Structure 1
Amino acid sequence: NASGTCSAIVTYTAPAGTDNCPGATTTQTAGLGSGSSFPTGSTTETYKVTDASGNTATCSFTVTVTDTENPTITCPSNISSVATSATGATVSYSTPSGTDNCPTVTTTQTAGLASGSTFPIGTTTNSFTATDAAGNAASCSFNVTIEGVAPVINCPANISVNTDANICGAVVSYAATETTGIPVSTITYDLAPGSTFNTGTTTVTATATNAVGSDQCSFTVTVTDNTPPDAQCQNITIGIGANGSVSITSADVDYGSSDNCGIGSMSVSPNSFSCANTGANSVTLTITDVNNNTATCTATVTIEDSQPPVAACLNPTAQLDASGQASVSNADVFDAANSSDNCGAPYPVFVTPNTFDCSNLGANTVTLQIIDLAGNTALCNATVTVVDDTAPTVVCKNTTVTLNSQGQATLQPIEVFDSGSDNCGNVNLESVTPNSFDCSNTGNTTVTLTVNDG
């Protein structure tokens, strides 16, 4: 065929009949003449020769025109659109239609989706083929690209909560939202909802991701410890010291105080006591946690003076009286200047033994007990020296001595002793002076009798 047409100009040598007699004529009885435009397909050409006698003869041949020219088809340009849902977007286009040099051409879609279909996100290739009656074909393609939408994430407002019971933190739940992204995005968090957050401020980052892209936002979670400590007190009894004072610490009255976040400090007031505070005293224990929440409890601190006094003794001398008796008082033995107590001056209670007689002459050990205002006692030992400074009494009698042959005489104490007494019973004759006489002493002589109670 000729280009652009559904036919071809065919030239051939027309047949010419011959006969044994002159006058034969040749005519074309079917087909087209040489130089005509022959349609595609086969055309039969028939010629007949007739002689002068009317005798005839015929011959035929075919002219075949073949269509070798492909149809033409043109596709639209590539199309790009934005998804309107997770399934994609509806796209319409001008459906390609093939043309051909011959009248009959069929156009079919061999790939892709028809115009007006919902195209998925991504690229879809649409292909069309035009085929003519001779089986010649031509194809074209174009792409429909549906682009997704990147997410746009929305974070919740900043969150402020108090600590949960019995823990130093709080379990916090939250949710970011994202409704723009196509396809639907997945939201993730650097700290998952429902996590336990410590006290203070924590920044949480949320990320929305789909096939197109991602988006982030941040918000804060602030956990405040507003739970006061659990203050627990115990009553104590404590003895006052030797210096008359005593101090306590918070640990002395603490009975297991606790706090959900930990105890920062403890203090007790008052914490120092003197003798004036003996007995029951109310104190306050203050517990402060690490976040400056406070709680208090009260305890009774009983101050006891269990410190015994320091006893000092004097060593007195006891003089037996005329009846041979002597005694000492507490004051005689109590050394007030050197005795002491942490809570004031002690005083004596008793001394034992405190009475003496002639059998106790000399050194005697006695014990003094002293007591302080709290009833604490102490002992000390003293030496009481019992002395008899009372002289015995004696009555003399006159006596006569006779000089011997040598003109001498000796006087014995018993000769002038009439009677005697002593507070301790015994009177001992010691001497008489003078006790020797001679002729010069005739007459009366005064003598002195000496006695003792030793």
Structure 2
Amino acid sequence: MKHPITKILLLCPVFLLYTFMLQAQSNLSADGYVHQIDPNGHFLFQGEKQDYIIPADATGLIEFVMEGGDGGYVHPSDVDDFREILSQGNTGNPKSGYVKYVFRGYGPTARCKDVTVTLENGSYTLTGSEVDNNSVVAPGEGKTTGFAVGFGPSQHFESSISFDCTNIGLYTPVFRVLSANGLYDDCNFAVTVLDDVAPVVACKTGPLEVSVGLNQPYALSVSELEQGWSDGCGIVVYKSLSPSEFTCEDVGANTVTLTVTDNNGNTSSCTASVTVEDNIPPVVNCQDITVQLNSEGIGSTNPAFNGALGSRSDNCGMDNSISYTGPIFYTCNEIGPAFPITVTLGDVNGNETPCTYMVTVEDNVAPTALCRDVTVELDENGTGSTTAAAVDNGSGDACGVQSAVLSGQSFSCGDLGVNTVTLTVTDVNNNTSTCPAIVTVEDNLDPEVDCSDITVTFNGEGSIRLDPEGMATGTDNCAVAGFEADPPSISCDALGEIVPVTVTVHNTASCTSNVTVEGLPCGWMSVPDGIGCTNGNEGDFDLGAGNFTLMAAGCYTPGASADESGYIKYQLCGLPMSKSILRPATWSVSI
């Protein structure tokens, strides 16, 4: 708006308003250009382009050139009034004519524009040239731009005004333009004071090391990462870290961003390397174990499978790898006192914990007992024996056999035939196993036999069975038994003969016995005391002579016949007698 002083000055004759006339002229080189052609302020214009006549709401600048070539611009706001076209055509164009405009006098006209300023280092100095929006002064005069500062009598001109952090926001200062002749004009403008300069933040250099513990996560504080910060307005209201918490999953190098925000919402950030470490070794509990060897004498040492490892845990998790000292496999050589084994377990981050446990190796596998049947032959004393080694058919044990014991090793004549024995195999670790075997005891030594001659006497028998044991004597390592005679008996037909008889023992040894056959012929017999002879009787038969000789004494035979044949029949055949003979008598009987 115009300063009141301007109105006062306009009352002076020097600053009276001039009236300018715009007159059409067809020789303009471009539409819309006007020329001042006389001291009365007549301006030429191209009348047939009436849209270039300055309307009341026109914007922008219209160039004009004063007589003699000096140029300038007229702003539509400088036009106080405009007149209708006056009919005065001198160009032959019915649209040509005069347009009368009323322009202000030559006092300055302030034109200003709204501006936005950004505080640098917390302050900003605004000059009039930054606000000037083509303010005008009288032709040929210089102008000075600035600001009207203060109110009332204390108001004064300043070429610049300053803003700091306390002025952030929207303000409406007064812009002032001064002409060389001391006149001025003011206009209000809006200045927006911004603090949009980000603060400066610095992170610590060098890697920061933090450790995740049993109670993860680890909470990182700003003070651990921040080296320092600065802000133009000196106020940082918020600081944040991303990420700010670390767990086992973050072990290793991590990039952390520190972001600071000032009170006007400007942010800045820096980054730093944070190395997350897991320095806590795993917790491992071991327990003593007993390893059983298998049938091949081998036991596994893998602690993951034989129960040596008890509970184990880690804040970040266990690794699957296990390292330990000692043999890969246990053998029979390790049987005995318990010995230590150290196993080392690691977590996923390379921390290790050793754990020692005691290992006792045992062999509880029974040996393999294998038997075979054997035959034992008795010696001349009737005894025989075998050994466990003879019965053992390849018994064995992975750790070795300590002993093999046979339940029966000595045999005699009473054991002839099949005998069942047991072989007990004991390994070096006192495990036992058994198997049965058959021991066949044989007597393959022939007995010795010696025959003697005998006599057999017939007395009415048809045949007499021989007694071979009475015909021979024998000796043997075992009891002599099984005497057999061949022929086994003598017939009465052999009366008077000497019959050779073979006596055999066990079907293996034999001798010959001569048997003399005597007695009564077939069908004849002597009956002792058959006739009541008190002194006995006997009968004899002379085979060569064919005579019987009968002797009797003290016999009573009542009812004997005269020829005494009844007696003979009685004597020889045991038939009843009819006569008693009281005296000894001898009879010869022809057969």
**1:240-274 CA deviation, whole Å, 9 max, x = no partner?**
12222222213132222333332321133322122
Inter-CA distance 107–142: structure 2 relative to 1 (3 Å threshold): farther
What are the within-5 Å matches in structure 2 for residues 213-232 of structure 1? 213-232=266-285
Does residue 181 of structure 1 match 2:232?
yes
Q: Any stretches of 5+ residues in structure 1 without a counterpart?
A: 7-71, 99-105, 110-114, 129-137
Letter of the aligned partner of 1:282 in structure 2?
P
CA distance in 2, matches of 1:89, 1:281: 85
Task: Report the structure, 1 or 2, having the larger helix content.
Answer: 2
Change in 2 beyond 3 A, CA 1:268/1:182: same
Distance 2:239 2:368 in 1: 81
Map of 2:377 onto structure 1:
319
Aligned counterpart for 2:430 among listed residues 364, 375, 389: 375
Q: Quote the residue 2:70 is aligned against.
A: none
Alpha-carbon shift at residue 416 of structure 1 (Å): 5.0
Name the counterpart of 1:202: 254
Q: Distance in 2 between matches of 1:444 and 1:203?
A: 137
CA contact (8 A) 1:76 1:142 kept: yes
Q: Secondary structure at the match of 1:260?
A: coil
Counterpart residue number, 2:213 = 165
d(CA) in 2 for partners of 1:373 and 1:107? 127
Alignment partners' CA distance in 2, 1:181 and 1:332: 111
- Specify whether residues 162 and 433 from structure 1 end up closer, same or farther in structure 2 by C-alpha distance, changes over 3 A only: farther
Aligned to 2:399: 343
RMSD of equivalent CA atoms? 4.7
Does the 8 Å contact 1:126/1:143 carry over to 2? yes
Could you tell me which of 413, 417, 422 is aligned with 1:362? Answer: 417
Partners of 2:150 and 2:399 in 1: CA distance = 124
CA-to-aligned-CA distance 1:106-147 (integer Å, 9 cap, x gap): 6698xxxxx99986213321469xxxxxxxxx9753556544
Distance 1:419 1:74, change over 3 A: closer
Per-residue deviation at 1:419? 4.7
The question of whether the paired residues in 2 share the 8 Å contact of 1:269 and 1:284 is answered with yes
Alignment of 1:49-198 (within 5 A): 95=148, 120-126=167-173, 140-141=187-188, 146-148=193-195, 149-166=197-214, 170-175=218-223, 176=226, 177-182=228-233, 184-189=235-240, 191=242, 193=244, 196=247, 198=250
Partner of 1:272: 329
Q: Does 1:294 align with 2:352?
A: yes
Aligned to 1:256, the other structure's residue is in SS state strand
Taking the aligned partners of 1:244 and 1:166, their CA distance within structure 2 comes to 45
Sequence identity of aligned pairs in percent?
Answer: 31
Task: Identify if the C-alpha distance between structure 1 residues 427 and 181 changes in structure 2 by more than 3 Å, giving closer, same or farther.
Answer: same
CA distance in 1, matches of 2:10, 2:430: 144
Displacement after TM superposition at 1:90 (Å)? 10
1:85–1:183 Cα contact (<8 Å) kept: no
Contact 1:392 1:453 in 2 (8 A): no
Q: Give, as a single letter, the amino acid of the residue that structure 1 aligns with 2:260.
A: A
How has the CA–CA distance of structure 1 residues 391 and 124 changed in structure 2, closer, same or farther, with 3 Å as cutoff? same
Number of residue pairs matched?
364
Change (3 A) 1:157 1:449: same
Q: Residue in 1 aligned with 2:56?
A: none
For 1:214, the aligned partner's letter is T
> Structure 1 residues 422-431 or 304-313, which shifts more?
422-431
Q: Secondary structure, in 3 states, of the residue corresponding to 2:390?
A: helix
1:387 to 1:411, Cα distance in 2 relative to 1, 3 A: same
State whether residues 163 and 223 of structure 1, in contact with CA within 8 Å, keep that contact through their aligned partners in structure 2. yes
**Using the alignment, how far apart are the partners of 1:187 and 1:343 within structure 2?**
78
**Which residue number corresponds to residue 30 of structure 1?**
none
CA-CA distance at 1:4 after TM superposition: 2.8
Partner of 1:333: 391
